[in-house]
Structure 1
Amino acid sequence: MKEYQRKQLLERVNREAATVGASIPDRIEVQGEEVPLQEFVFEIKRREAVPAGERDRVERAKRNLRRERIERLERIEENEVSFAEGERLADSIIGIDRALDALESLGPADLQSEEQRQEAADRKRWMRFLRKALGRDDGGSGGGSRTRF
């Protein structure tokens, strides 16, 4: 493969909007094992939240997909393949990215963020309640030079 072709492929897979309009591959070989990727992603996405028992499976899948993406990208970067093979690899990398995007939107980080937001809101409500109960939040009467937050 010529250098300019290699650069085009690398630019294509690293483009920020590369996954727009891309589809998740039906099947993909990951770490030497054929995986029904589209079916797996759709199965997980159908649920409102990832059940606790499935989180490890999803996290393992994301790690394996990231590893596979890096290996495929390195094959293009190191110019180990023909241009036709490079195009096939680029398409598969974009498909992997699309699958990762779909899985990331359901990941534990989202659940943890939501839990943290809920806890922060609960603390605020509790503090407001305590201030009112203790007479420190009476709408401005009394308290003199107290700073309000």
Structure 2
Amino acid sequence: MGDTDGTGITDAEREALLDRVNDQSATVGASVPDEIEIDGTAVDLSTFIVECRKVDAIPPAMERKVASTRAALRAERERRVERLEDDPIDRETAETLAEEVVGIDRALNALSTIRHPSFADEHHADALAGRERWLAFVDRVR
């Protein structure tokens, strides 16, 4: 009764799950998934985030990986939300998808707060490196 697609999930239940995954506060208290499958490949997401948070600032090589991971997570989130919105799924699958989307959102939040060097910090480091090169040049000329 109330099932519109014969799968065991009603339109109201589906709508409630979609509201939950689109709620900005849904990630409060949520955990980053240890592992998530993206495009058929298992990604050790929790370890990746821990490794990124260990460094004082993300180096350029790691920044590219962080950016590509964020893009892959956004695409995977979108795929899962679309399944939740449109696919004929049962209640258990819908709940699992909702939990996965919230976990992905938590991971995206964690990746967005990783320390990036500020422009001032980069400028200061470049200035110091320039002074060191200049002093080394002066020492060689003497």
| TM-score class, shorter | 0.7 to 0.9
Aligned partner (choices 53, 75, 80) of residue 83 of structure 2: 75
Letter in 2 for 1:98: R
- Say yes or no: does 1:92 pair with 2:92: no
- Say yes or no: does 1:47 pair with 2:55: yes
* 1:79 to partner: Cα distance: 3.6
Distance 2:120 2:85 in 1: 40
| Contact 1:6 1:79 survives alignment (8 Å) | no
Please, what is the CA RMSD of the aligned residues?
1.9
Distance 2:53 2:89 in 1: 34
* 1:116 to partner: Cα distance: 6.9
Letter in 2 for 1:102: A
Higher helix share: 2
- Say yes or no: does 1:25 pair with 2:33: yes
- Structure 2: runs of 5+ lacking an equivalent: 1-8, 124-142
Q: Which residue of 2 aligns with 1:142?
A: none
Larger radius of gyration: 1
- Say yes or no: does 1:65 pair with 2:69: no
Q: How many residues align?
A: 115
- Say yes or no: does 1:2 pair with 2:10: yes
* 1:12 to partner: Cα distance: 0.6
| Contact 1:13 1:90 survives alignment (8 Å) | yes
Report SS of the residue matched to 1:43: helix
- Say yes or no: does 1:56 pair with 2:64: yes
Report SS of the residue matched to 1:48: coil
Any runs of at least 4 consecutive aligned residues in structure 1 with deviations exceeding 3 A, and if so which? Answer: 116-119
Q: Which residue of 1 aligns with 2:119?
A: 115
Report SS of the residue matched to 1:34: strand
Distance change in 2, residues 1:87/1:102 (3 Å): same
- Determine what percentage of the aligned residue pairs are the same residue: 37
Distance 2:89 2:74 in 1: 20
**If the length of structure 2 is used for normalisation, what is the TM-score?**
0.75
Report SS of the residue matched to 1:17: helix
